Structure 1
Amino acid sequence: MSTEPPETTENTEPGTPGAATEDAGAAAAGAGEGPDAAEGTEATTGDGDTAAQLSEAEAELAAQRLERERIERRKAEKQGPVESGTKLSGTAADLLAAVRAVESGAKPVATVFSEPEPPRRPAPEPVRQPRPVASEAPAGPAPETVESVRRVLADGGAPESLAPQVAAALGEGAAGQLRADPWQLLRVAGVRTEQADGFARALLGAECGPDDERRGRALTVWLLEQAAVAGHTALEMPTLTAALAQRGVPDAEAAVQNTLAEGEALAFQDALDEPGAPASRGDDETDEDEARPVRVLVGLERYALAEESLADGLARLVNSAPKQDGSAEEWERAATSAGSAADLIRAAATHGLVLHTGGQAARAEPAALLHAAHALGLRAWAATHSPVGRDSFSTLLDGPGVATVAGLLSGAEGPGRDSEGAFDLDLLVLLDAPQLDVETAALLTESLPDGARLVLAGDPAVLWSAGPGRVFADLLAARVCPQIASRLPDPGPLGELVSGIGVGELNQVEAPGKEVVIVPVRDAGEAVHRTVQLVADSVPRAIGIPAEETQVITPGHGGAAGTRALNAALKERLNPGPGRFGGFDPGDRVAYSPAPGRTVPGQVVKADAEGLHLSCAGEAVVVPQERVEQSVRHGWALTAHQAAGARWPAVVVVLPGDAAQTLNRPWVYTAFGRADRHLSVVHGVEQALPRAVAEIPAKPRTTRLAVLLGPLLPATG
């Protein structure tokens, strides 16, 4: 492993290390892993023609409405309501979307339950067919509503510029709601608790106090929203009450109970076999269960419904016999001739749900399964979270059969849906499964027809989903279905390096072709300078990979060597210009977020009265002018969560000194694993890097899926 950059010139630019993670915010008690400043929620609409006519934002909203209605119908049919609490208003769902928009970098926010690493959702992507897409935002609040909110904000000394966001978050009657309960200001992403308290004091005067019931409820919901941003689907009661007490709520338990009574959150009691080990759903009212210890969880309804819907869908797959396409002998012949994919094919032949684990090379095995399924006459499709991953995997197949998750759910890609609204397929292979959050996973499983097979394939060592939940890890831990571990190693020095990281070892590897290069730096300023030098000069000359095929990855958006600083420096070197359209010029490399939680790499083509014209993975996209600031950023540098699921010929990972405390093994594994031929590490964290690899695993997330999957265990032995 070389410790000098390929053909670099010595120069330093002093800089002051900044905050490594502007968007993740500070960690707090009970913190879990925060998603990284990116993106990802999917949608489903009706048939493909309808989806093509809808804007992406409208399709997202319609899909979420349909899915919630479906989940509610299923729960009503089961006649099994959750004991504590009722439904949240639609406002709560809108607010979580706003929180995610903040995490994507539109606004900074001090999250409570995120680790110091920047958050957010991985990226299912837009439609495959190259055609202009008008990315229209949902209709904004009425002007009179905004104006009335503006007056209330002025009375309370809050910035009047927040009026559109408050009106959008609270909906019709926003001004009245805000005047009656000033702490509703916390519904706006980026507002801190001390700011809401100051606003409340200005409006309420002597009536305002830390023990105000309205304050306790608002802070409880706010904390649950921040926890969801950090990846939790619920919080244990002691964690929640401790966080409330830390924010000056005198009777934290009463605040939680008031929130439950108002239907703004739900409570659950999960039985434990032993302390800290979930064992069952805890809803069987037996003497034995009553005697067992329980943990009490509190969560927002949207994630409770998603996890329960997901568990129901997985139970249907696990406990139902898959459709018999091809005889047992035909499946066995296909397995026998498939080499390393034999075990995967045999498992898929007889099971409705199969998990497949492995690295980049192991993707050949799901490809072999798809080949075999097609030969047996199955309607088989694969899905990836990004168009980059889709195009890469399609090279392993002879023909079509790969879609993005977003395109599959919307109907714009893939097989479409049958007359009952289910996917018109027999086998779905989902790649990069660790990126699945509970809402997306629920949408997918609910959309599978009876008798279909689902194969979840991915590398369990990479970063978890940027959205709430840890679906793939929970399923692996629950052991409710066959798990096929690939034995195909990733080749070469890069494969050896990344494989070692996966088991906690940062090894020195022989890299005769300069596959791995370490570039030491002293400070953030030098890190930025060396990164630009590598991308623009050294890697193209020494390795033969042009700048447009090199991706920079750094821990956060903020700081002196975050994505903002690096993108500014790279633009100045690679595509200088005045930024005539919202800071962008033709030829700029960008990261486009078509919906909260998604990131699509692209390039600026032009700008006109319609908006900013982009080319994203072969698709023409038009972003209206009013949405450019919110949904388009420069993309020469990304965070690790934004880059997950994609690979580039060359990757430059930037580790400035101020990033030391943000590093953990999954982050390093994911960032280093994005390189296909060459990896340069701009290294300024000294011993923090090997320590992170050896000692710092992913922080736990609080989820209920493993508990909800408990009843599946008897069915599968």
Structure 2
Amino acid sequence: MSTDRTADEGGARQAPGSNGQPSVELSRLAEAVRKIERGGGRGAAGEQPQGTAAQWSAPTPAAAPAEPVAPPPTQTRGPELSGEPVEAARQVLAAGGAPPALAEAAVDALGERAGERLHEDPWLVLSLAGVRVDQADGFARALLGAACRPDDERRGRALVTWLLERAADAGHTALEWPVLRAALEKQSVSDADAALRTAVENGQVMVFHDAQETPGAAPGAGDDEAPVTLLLGLDRYSLAEESLADGLGRLLNTFEAAEGAEGAEAEAWEAAASAAPSPSAAELVRAVAGSALVTHSGGEAARAEPAALVAAARAAGLRAVAAAHTEDGRRRLGQHLGEDAAESAVTVDGLLSGAQGPGRSEDGTLALDVLAVLDAPQLDVESAATLVESVPDGARLVLSGDPGVLWSASGPGRAFADLVAAKVCPHVASRTPDPGPIGELVSGIGVGELTQVEAPGREVVIVPVHDAGEAVHRTVQLVADSIPRAIGVPAAQTQVITAGHGGAAGTRSLNAVLKERLNPGPGRFAGFDPGDRVVYEAAAGRAVPGVVVSAEAGGLRLECEGAAVLVPRDRVATAVRHGWAVTAQQAVGRRWRAVVVVLPGDAAAGLTRSWVYTAFGRGERHLSVVHGVEQALPGVVAEVPAKERTTRLRTILRDQAEGI
């Protein structure tokens, strides 16, 4: 859900109690928030960066729930820690039964005093990526003995951060107080409200409130009695949303519309609109002529519209660039831009790094006048804030994307959707439909209808199956034989998309049988052979397709979208997967000539309309659906939208526009 924002300035008087209604005085919260705003009171747990760690192979039993007890005794002096920071951390980890190999990640996450901090507060081990609560409890019990209790204040403090980090992995930039309280109670925290109040007072988290209007009351009347929804968030994501809103406001406030300039500029924009290839493209050009910030939505065919805008701006002498999410998206964008594509089509990462595009001006901003960003739903709040911060004053920014696809997996938030919903800038909804049977099918899914389409060229084929074993068999048959023979698309240009990594028809199982059929080998390089199709996770949530070239002393050599990549030996096991079959989230931003979507019966519970929309829309020429979910699929398309994300950006933008 999207939520309203204000830092607590006295309007919120009560914290929610166990029934979700205000019941506890908020004066301490208000003071804590004012302390944060003055720049003080940061708690150690709130300063922890996300670590990288392997999970325990055999976790120690978790601390058993116990009745409330008095605060734990003062920490006794621990063993003398010797050596460099990593060695000191290794000693404490080993003493608590944790893998010593986590020592480097602990130092990265907790600093050079990692060993000492872990000894003083064992639950800080939760700041290492992949560590579960039961493992942290076992680690604490080994170090603290009988003093280890589920209601230890240190445990509650660490769990608050851990839960908010997990929420961020699921896309939320904040959580409502009752939601976070319930999650703490599930982890045997007996007084969850007290744990949350402590987290706020220590500056570990930021608190915001949403004052709901009383139904039927006049606007602004009775605000003192309005119910309050409290939100808690980590400062990293809260500040990113604030920064993004400030950057968008800066663009709007430093821009002079074309109609306010001399007549020649306005005439040039109108001439470009008149020459646009479609009515929607013309509408987009006119919107950009009059605003520094414009949102644009549409399907695959609508990508031609921001491309036409960029081409028109460049023809008028402006420095204009279009940026896509992936190299494949850049390739498809280049098809619309023609000969100018080498300079005007980039990826977002390439643009920000300086590897592609115009570079930066002396003030550090991008040297451009118009920037159109495609695949905008893939921008999380942090990447969106970084991008907007790089756009110079007075420039025009267009954020364009398909609102039906899955959101970003690399970070929290829903920047594009929140910006559209806030209605603080012009929005152009493309009226250009995606062509052909696949386009017709996907367009129907986007509005909640699963329709049967005419496919005289076998563009869409449904393959019913009874179980996961048959689904795997038919998938291999389609990729290796039927599609190359009947459709003319080779296996190398066919992509399998399935619901998840695990299960009898997940990516692991499908990739194993597809490798055996398409590129058999002993897997002598950490399970890989030259010629294997792979997915390389260069960063969290950023999966890049590639092919194994060779193995070297330094690691595994890949070719990823035309670029040579050497994956270090110690990262191969965690960063590289076989890639004949991928998840829908890994497929976002890319298209293939042929796609096989696998829907085994056990996948129905995890499907959403946006998942189906995304997976079915990845095929350019052909789509095969290995269908084992029977009658569940129409219901999913009609009734199961993606889960909302709790974010604050929408309200920040509205407040900003209203001058609050």
- TM-score, normalised on structure 1? 0.79
Question: Would you say 1:503 and 2:441 are equivalent positions?
Answer: no
User: Match of 1:646?
Assistant: 590
Which deviations, in whole Å up to 9, do the C-alpha atoms of 1:344-379 show, x marking residues without a partner? 000001100001111101111111101110111110
Contact 1:146 1:164 in 2 (8 A): yes
Question: Would you say 1:632 and 2:576 are equivalent positions?
Answer: yes
Contact 2:381 2:412 in 1 (8 A): yes
User: Match of 1:246?
Assistant: 186
Contact 1:614 1:620 in 2 (8 A): yes
**Residue of 380, 388, 402 corresponding to 1:459:** 402
Letter in structure 2 aligned against 1:663: L
Larger deviation: 240-249 or 190-199? Answer: 190-199
Could you say what secondary structure the match of 2:408 adopts?
Answer: coil
Question: Would you say 1:678 and 2:622 are equivalent positions?
Answer: yes
Higher relative contact order (CA 8 A, sep 6+): 1
Distance 1:248 1:598 in 2: 35
User: Match of 2:503?
Assistant: 559
Could you say what secondary structure the match of 1:614 adopts?
Answer: strand
**Residue of 108, 114, 126 corresponding to 1:186:** 126
Change (3 A) 1:645 1:88: farther
Distance 2:595 2:327 in 1: 18
**Residue of 582, 594, 599 corresponding to 2:526:** 582
Question: Would you say 1:327 and 2:270 are equivalent positions?
Answer: no
Change (3 A) 1:194 1:640: same
Question: How much identity, in percent, do the aligned residues show?
Answer: 63
Which deviations, in whole Å up to 9, do the C-alpha atoms of 1:453-489 show, x marking residues without a partner? 1101111111122220011111111111111111110
Larger deviation: 144-153 or 656-665? Answer: 144-153
User: Match of 1:65?
Assistant: none
Q: Give 1:627 deviation, angstroms.
A: 2.0
Which deviations, in whole Å up to 9, do the C-alpha atoms of 1:318-358 show, x marking residues without a partner? 33324759611111111011132111000001100001111
Contact 2:299 2:401 in 1 (8 A): yes
Which deviations, in whole Å up to 9, do the C-alpha atoms of 1:5-25 show, x marking residues without a partner? xxxxxxxxxxxxxxxxxxxxx
Could you say what secondary structure the match of 2:89 adopts?
Answer: helix
User: Match of 2:374?
Assistant: 431
User: Match of 2:21?
Assistant: none
User: Match of 1:315?
Assistant: 249
**Residue of 376, 385, 390 corresponding to 1:442:** 385
User: Match of 1:74?
Assistant: none
User: Match of 1:418?
Assistant: 361
Could you say what secondary structure the match of 1:519 adopts?
Answer: strand
Structure 2 unaligned runs (5+)? 4-33, 60-81
Distance 1:528 1:342 in 2: 47
Letter in structure 2 aligned against 1:429: A
Question: Would you say 1:480 and 2:414 are equivalent positions?
Answer: no
User: Match of 2:552?
Assistant: 608
Distance 1:461 1:155 in 2: 50
Q: Give 1:82 deviation, angstroms.
A: 4.0
User: Match of 2:231?
Assistant: 297
User: Match of 2:49?
Assistant: 94
Q: Give 1:205 deviation, angstroms.
A: 1.5
**Residue of 267, 286, 289 corresponding to 1:346:** 286
Q: Number of paired residues? A: 595
User: Match of 1:219?
Assistant: 159
Could you say what secondary structure the match of 2:312 adopts?
Answer: helix
After superposition, residues 339-418 of structure 1 pair within 5 angstroms as: 339-340=278-279, 341-398=281-338, 399=340, 400-418=343-361
Distance 2:316 2:45 in 1: 46
Distance 1:701 1:517 in 2: 34
Which deviations, in whole Å up to 9, do the C-alpha atoms of 1:572-623 show, x marking residues without a partner? 1111111222211111111112222311111111122232221111111122
Q: Give 1:711 deviation, angstroms.
A: 2.7
Q: Give 1:306 deviation, angstroms.
A: 0.4
Could you say what secondary structure the match of 1:197 adopts?
Answer: helix
Q: Give 1:171 deviation, angstroms.
A: 2.8
Larger deviation: 344-353 or 515-524? Answer: 515-524
Letter in structure 2 aligned against 1:94: P
Q: Give 1:216 deviation, angstroms.
A: 0.5
Which deviations, in whole Å up to 9, do the C-alpha atoms of 1:214-238 show, x marking residues without a partner? 0000111110000000000000111
Q: Give 1:84 deviation, angstroms.
A: 9.6
Structure 1 unaligned runs (5+)? 1-29, 33-78, 110-141, 281-285
Distance 1:470 1:480 in 2: 16
Could you say what secondary structure the match of 1:202 adopts?
Answer: helix
User: Match of 1:52?
Assistant: none
Distance 2:497 2:115 in 1: 43
Question: Would you say 1:568 and 2:523 are equivalent positions?
Answer: no
Could you say what secondary structure the match of 1:94 adopts?
Answer: coil
Q: Give 1:80 deviation, angstroms.
A: 11
Which deviations, in whole Å up to 9, do the C-alpha atoms of 1:384-407 show, x marking residues without a partner? 111111111111102131111111
Change (3 A) 1:288 1:306: farther
User: Match of 2:68?
Assistant: none
Could you say what secondary structure the match of 2:356 adopts?
Answer: coil
Change (3 A) 1:586 1:570: same
Letter in structure 1 aligned against 2:273: A
Larger deviation: 260-269 or 652-661? Answer: 260-269
Larger deviation: 452-461 or 620-629? Answer: 620-629
Letter in structure 1 aligned against 2:576: V
User: Match of 1:255?
Assistant: 195
Contact 2:48 2:109 in 1 (8 A): no
Distance 2:240 2:446 in 1: 30
Letter in structure 2 aligned against 1:461: G
Distance 2:630 2:465 in 1: 9
Contact 2:459 2:621 in 1 (8 A): yes
Distance 1:683 1:270 in 2: 44
User: Match of 2:561?
Assistant: 617
User: Match of 1:56?
Assistant: none
Could you say what secondary structure the match of 1:561 adopts?
Answer: coil
Larger Rg: 2
Could you say what secondary structure the match of 2:624 adopts?
Answer: strand
